């Protein structure tokens, strides 16, 4: 799926602003956002996104991935209870999503980035 051309222009301007500020590419284009962009989801780079947008992106992408890795690497051979594993996966996913969203909110303010609507 392709993103809207207007979004792509805004994203390019936002990335140029972050490059000019000396931010690392891994900070303004983390893997979960790169994945969302590749499947056509028009979400602003994390330092330009709202707290809740970042929370949903990080939680929605990282939780299933982390859960699958944990299941295959640690729990599959130990006959882990599915309910217990699901609760653990969701809890860690939500906590990590909250931490990442707060970090991105701080990062946007610390680098004095304009609002997404102004890009």
For the stretch 42-92, pLDDT in tens is 999 999 999 999 999 999 999 998 888 888 888 777 777 888 888 989 999
Contacts of 95 (CB under 8 A, 6+ apart): none
- Classify 6 as helix, strand or coil: helix
Residue 40 host element (H or E): none
- Classify 51 as helix, strand or coil: helix
Full-model pTM: 0.84
């Amino acid at each position: 799926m392709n993103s809207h051309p207007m979004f792509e222009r805004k994203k390019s301007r936002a990335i140029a602003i972050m490059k000019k500020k000396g931010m690392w590419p891994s900070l303004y284009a983390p893997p979960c956002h790169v994945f969302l962009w590749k499947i056509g989801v028009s979400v602003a780079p994390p330092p330009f996104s709202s707290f809740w947008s970042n929370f949903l992106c990080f939680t929605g992408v990282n939780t299933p991935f982390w859960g699958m890795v944990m299941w295959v690497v640690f729990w599959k051979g130990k006959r882990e209870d599915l309910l217990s594993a699901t609760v653990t996966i969701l809890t860690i996913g939500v906590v990590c999503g909250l931490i990442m969203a707060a970090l991105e909110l701080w990062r946007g303010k610390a680098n004095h980035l304009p609002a997404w609507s102004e890009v």
